[in-house]
A and B are shown apart, each in its own frame.
Chain A
Amino acid sequence: MSYFRAENLSLRFGGLKAVDAVSFAVEKGEILSIIGPNGAGKSSIFNLISRIYRPTSGRIFFEDQDITEEPPYDIARLGIARTFQNIELFENATVLSNLLVGRHRHSTTQLWQELLFLPSVRANEKVHRRRVEQVIEFLDLEAYRDKPISGLPYGVRKVIELARALCSEPKLILLDEPSSGLNVEETDDMSFWIRDMRRELGVTVLMVEHDMSLVNRVSDRVIALNYGRVLAMGSPAEVQQHPDVVAAYLGA
């Protein structure tokens, strides 16, 4: 059985089929990219997985468990973290507290314990803090630790979103256009991090990406979508030479 599986996933907005009977599987430890022209349904698939949308039909399985009906907040608890295409950070909080929210799925303390800040809460906080520090070191964010998000440049925010997702110690991470808005060097850094993430943290990566050079460098397999349907699936080179994919991008 595959690690993560989507079966016949469909999403309709009225008459529009945003996602149309899409099936794919992700193996453990794999980096799988989803490509496709604008409006192909890439981000919709992510939103279906993280339960922001409810699929019209189809099933989603993670570690052999059907997660189609799980509430959105439980998706993170199962070990699936995500980033957003248009950065969704907690604007008025510091980088540190943003990352600590990423630790939310590991918090075990009760409200009354927190009101009194019992030793157990304090001990937990230190554990969270240590994990966050590891991620900060991993992504070179030391300089921004105590800065509020609202003053940070776009490129840094993008990395912080990745950091927040990593703080939850995910098994599967969904990256929605990790390189959009980044310059060439930042994109390079991103590609190293994505590979390191798999190697050092054992995270499986599913990503939506437009930058083909990044896709070629990091992906094991690529899925091409258009009009909500799967056009091609396979290695980056295979998919890019597939006649349907060429037609979709060039209109030929």
Chain B
Amino acid sequence: MRFLFKTDYEDDIRLFPHSGYVVSYGSLFAVLLVAPYVLSSYLMSQLVFVCIYATVGVALLILTGFTGQASLGHAAFLAIGAYTAVYLQQFNVPFPVYFLAAGLLTGVIGALVGFPALRLQGIYLVIATISFAFIVEEILARWESVTNGNEGMRVKALSLFGTAVSRDSPAFYFLCLAVLVLTIVGTLNLLRSPTGRAFVAIRDSETAARSMGVNVALYKVKSFAISAAITGFAGVLFAHKLSFISPEMFTLQLSIEFIIVILIGGTFSLHGAVLGAIFIVMIDPFLTYLKDDMPGIIAGVAATLGAGKERAAHIQDGIAAFASLNGLKGAIYGVIIVLFVLFEPLGLYGRWLKIKLFFQLFPLYKRATFKRQKIYVKSERNR
């Protein structure tokens, strides 16, 4: 186990507290840099999606994890970013310009959504953000002169500094990675400055934050704006990756996926956004695999256990029918959320920390270390 001996205030400020961090993040970064030359094109494509989802995850963490304002409307912010980019593409606007414009516009809209949110808390805020998402979805479907309605829009290939960048090329992956890394570094900077601490203060006690001089309304709006802007940037990349966008891609289901990203990853640290993104991107092929192969496997097992041929075929058909039920994916997501909230509220990153501590303290680890503490009742009267 390592004990840090701090001799300077700088020790509390720097991003990498000791050399171990530099080594581990450095090697992770090196792996990410060589990945496109090693991995198959399918895995690369998944990795790009991980980058995009993780960027949105970080955005959502700022708003939900650190400021405590739940949002189920982030698919709408993603859509606004994506549509702004594609709309501006028609006028031959260069990529850096429409990339920034999409982020800015989404940020402004995020701030506007933030204003009504000032009066809402908890579940009511969730409902408000869902309705915002539905409004955006409807507008996208009906404002045909701009969005081409339900027919959707084709996204032109990305062109950066005069060269075309294909959505499957390593260059596009590096772009997404750069956006993710910049987002994470910016967010970490924010979290170690007054603004980030004000966010956390608002999450834990608005009354105390206010009496310490935090302008709660202003900081909530700021949090919404920053979160939306980052999601808008991610939206541009999302559009380029898909090369075609239509309103039905930005539904409530996508917003729920973003919530899953942070719930499963862990809401207390930015690591959670990345772990959650890996989880949500990889679970789709996994579910597809289960759907395609599970009926056959189970039927095979049933047959070896002595079920007749006819019976085995019957079982296979039954499971296949069940697997292709509508909305099964949503239900599975729901079950996953419930299980995580019940058994691992700190998410995958929390689990990772526990495993790490187990080995650091071996053989002295106490099972009660992470037992949830009794929390003193806070005054809710002054809300």
Residue numbers of A with Cβ under 8 A of B are 47, 50, 52, 71-77, 81-82, 84-93, 96-97, 100-105, 107, 109, 111, 114-117, 121-122, 125-126, 129-130, 133, 150-151, 154, 157, 164, 168
Q: Separation in Å of the B349 CB from the closest CB of chain A?
A: 15
> In the assembled complex, which residues on chain B have CB atoms less than 8 Å from the CB atom of A47?
382
Which 7 pairs of residues, A with B, have the shortest CB-CB distance? Answer: A76-B213, A107-B194, A105-B213, A114-B193, A90-B204, A88-B208, A117-B189
A62 to chain B, nearest CB (A): 14
Q: Is the CB of B207 within 8 A of A88?
A: yes
Do B222 and A93 touch across chains, with their CB atoms under 8 A apart? no
Q: Which residues of A contact B198 (CB under 8 A)?
A: 101, 104
Task: Report yes or no: B268 in contact with A101, Cβ–Cβ below 8 A.
Answer: no
User: Chain A interface mostly helix, strand, loop or mixed?
Assistant: helix
Query: What's the Cα separation between A87 and B13 when bound, in Å?
Result: 28
Q: Are A91 and B197 in contact (CB under 8 A)?
A: no
Which B residues, 168 to 189, have Cβ-Cβ distances below 8 Å to chain A? 186, 189
Q: Which stretch in B155-163, B289-297, B371-379 binds the other chain?
A: B371-379
B62 CB to closest chain A CB, in angstroms? 11
28 A-B contacts (beta carbon < 8 Å): A47-B382, A52-B210, A72-B210, A88-B205, A88-B211, A89-B204, A90-B201, A90-B204, A90-B208, A91-B205, A92-B204, A92-B268, A93-B201, A93-B204, A101-B197, A101-B209, A105-B212, A111-B222, A111-B226, A114-B195, A115-B186, A115-B190, A116-B186, A116-B189, A117-B192, A126-B9, A130-B9, A150-B373
- With A89-B205, A90-B200, A107-B194 given, name 6 new contacts (CB 8 A): A52-B210, A52-B211, A90-B203, A103-B194, A117-B193, A154-B376
Chain B residues contacting A89 (CB-CB under 8 Å) are 204-205, 208
Query: Taking CB as reference atom, which chain A residue is nearest B380?
Result: A86
Bound together, the chains give a CA A129 to CA B196 distance in angstroms of 15
Q: B residues near A, CB below 8 A?
A: 9-10, 12-13, 186, 189-190, 192-198, 200-201, 203-205, 207-216, 222, 226, 268, 373, 375-379, 382
Say whether A88 contacts B222, CB under 8 Å. no
Q: Tell whether, in the assembled complex, residue A102 and residue B12 are in contact, meaning their CB atoms are under 8 Å apart.
A: no
- CB of A71 to closest CB in B, whole Å: 8
Q: Are B204 and A91 in contact (CB under 8 A)?
A: yes
Q: How far is the CA of A133 from the CA of B6 in the complex (A)?
A: 13
Residue in chain B with minimal CB distance to A107:
B194
Q: A164 and B212 in contact (CB under 8 A), knowing A90-B200, A96-B12?
A: yes
Enumerate chain B residues within 8 angstroms of A121, measured Cβ to Cβ. Answer: 189, 193
Known: A90-B201, A107-B194, A154-B376. A102 touches B212 (CB 8 A): yes
Complex interface: chain B residues within 8 A of A129 (CB): 9, 12-13
Q: With contacts A114-B189, A154-B376 known, is A125 near B13, CB below 8 A?
A: yes
**Are B193 and A168 in contact, CB atoms less than 8 angstroms apart?**
no
Interchain pairs with CB closer than 8 A, number: 131
Nearest neighbor of A130 in chain B, beta-carbon distance: B9
CA distance A47 to B383 in the complex (A): 12
Residues from chain A with a CB closer than 8 A to the CB of B214 are 73, 101, 104
Asked if B213 and A88 sit within 8 Å, CB to CB, the answer is no
* Whole-angstrom distance between the Cβ of A77 and the nearest chain B Cβ: 5
Name the residue of chain B whose CB is nearest to the CB of A115: B186
- Residues of chain B within 8 A (CB-CB) of A157 are 376
Quote the shortest CB–CB distance from A33 to chain B (angstroms). Answer: 20
| B215 / chain A contacts, CB cutoff of 8 Å | 71, 73
Q: How far is the CA of A72 from the CA of B69 in the complex (A)?
A: 21
* Contacting residues, chain B, for A114 (C-beta < 8 A): 189-190, 193-196
Given known A-B contacts A89-B204, A101-B197, A77 and B213 have beta carbons under 8 A apart = yes
Q: Are A82 and B211 in contact (CB under 8 A)?
A: yes
Residues on the A chain within 8 Å of B382, using CB: 47, 52
Q: Which of A90, A111, A133, A168 contacts B213 (CB 8 A)?
A: A168
Docked complex Cα distance between A76 and B198 (Å) = 14
Q: Name which residue of chain A comes closest to B182, CB basis.
A: A115
Measured in the bound complex, the distance between the Cα atoms of B12 and A97 in whole Å is 11
Bound Cα distance A102, B373 (Å): 25
Assess the B200–A88 pair: CB atoms within 8 A.
Answer: no
B204 contact set on A, CB distance < 8 A: 89-93
Give Cα A86–Cα B381 distance, bound, in whole angstroms.
11
Q: Among A90, A93, A157, find the residue whose CB has the most chain B CB atoms closer than 10 A.
A: A90
Most A CB contacts (10 A, CB to CB) among B197, B207, B377 go to B197
| Bound-state Cα–Cα, A93 to B198, Å | 11
Q: Is the CB of A97 within 8 A of B189?
A: no
Q: Is the CB of A125 within 8 A of B192?
A: yes
Closest chain A residue to B68, Cβ basis: A92
Q: Closest CB-CB distance, B185 to chain A, in whole Å? A: 9
User: A125 — which chain B residues lie within 8 A by C-beta?
Assistant: 9, 13, 192-193
Cα of A105 to Cα of B213 in the assembled complex, Å:
6
Beyond A52-B207, A114-B194, is A93–B378 a contact (Cβ under 8 Å)?
no
Min CB gap B199→A, angstroms: 10
Q: How many Å from the CB of B383 to the closest CB on chain A?
A: 10
Contact between B197 and A97, CB atoms less than 8 A apart = yes
Docked Cα-Cα span, A52 to B212, in Å, equals 12
Report yes or no: B213 in contact with A109, Cβ–Cβ below 8 A: no
Q: Which residues of B contact A115 (CB under 8 A)?
A: 186, 189-190
A102 to chain B, nearest CB (A): 6
CA distance A126 to B194 in the complex (A): 12
